[in-house]
């Protein structure tokens, strides 16, 4: 795993992502931000749902925000970037930017908690497992 400081991916705007005005529907930006989070977690060797010490752990959202800056259109190629803005004991805050070429389309943040989410049990926040926390730290430091 190479340090990235900012993890990026690209995505082509699908017709189903657009609204009647022909621009990306606002709700899709949250999906774009979530998809880059999933890719980032796979990049560091884990997943949005994984096993740890016999428990299933996941990363539910505690908060999400997105600011629209410019329209994106069907077939645009967007770059979605993720940066770990804050790593707490039991939570992460991701900062995102969505761009087309050099144009800022949207920016946002997602706050997630590390939780045990075993079937039939109440979810409970836990400290980020040390191995995962170290991978996040290493990937976030960048070159």
For residue range 48-101, list pLDDT tens digits in order: 999 999 999 999 999 999 999 999 999 999 999 999 999 999 999 999 999 999
Q: 3-class DSSP state for residue 26?
A: helix
The number of distinct structural domains making up the chain is 1
Q: What per-residue confidence (pLDDT) applies to 141? A: 78
Q: Is residue 11 part of a domain?
A: yes
Q: Is residue 1 part of a domain?
A: no
State the residue range of the domain holding 11.
6-141
Are 127 and 114 in contact by the 8 Å Cβ rule? The answer is yes
Asked whether residue 3 carries a pLDDT value surpassing 70, the answer given is: no
Burial of 74 (0-12, 13-18, 19+ CB in 10 A): middle
Mean pLDDT score across all residues of the chain: 94
Closest CA to 8 of 41, 40, 38: 40
Percent of the chain with pLDDT over 90: 92
Are 98 and 78 in contact by the 8 Å Cβ rule? The answer is yes
CATH of the domain at 42: 3.10.129.10
Q: For the whole prediction, is pTM greater than 0.75? A: yes
Q: Is residue 91 part of a domain?
A: yes
Q: Is residue 29 part of a domain?
A: yes
Q: Is residue 54 part of a domain?
A: yes
């Amino acid at each position: 795993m190479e340090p990235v400081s900012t993890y990026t991916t690209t995505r082509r705007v699908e017709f189903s992502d657009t609204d009647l005005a022909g621009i990306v529907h606002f709700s899709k930006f949250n999906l774009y931000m979530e998809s880059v989070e999933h890719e980032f977690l796979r990049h560091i060797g884990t997943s949005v749902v994984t096993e740890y010490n016999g428990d299933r752990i996941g990363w539910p959202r505690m908060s999400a925000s997105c600011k629209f800056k410019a329209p994106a259109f069907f077939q645009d190629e967007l770059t979605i970037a993720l940066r770990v803005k804050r790593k707490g004991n039991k939570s992460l805050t991701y900062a995102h930017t969505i761009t087309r070429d050099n144009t800022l389309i949207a920016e946002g943040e997602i706050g997630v908690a590390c939780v045990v989410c075993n079937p039939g049990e109440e979810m409970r926040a836990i400290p980020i497992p040390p191995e995962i926390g170290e991978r996040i730290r290493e990937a976030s430091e960048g070159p």
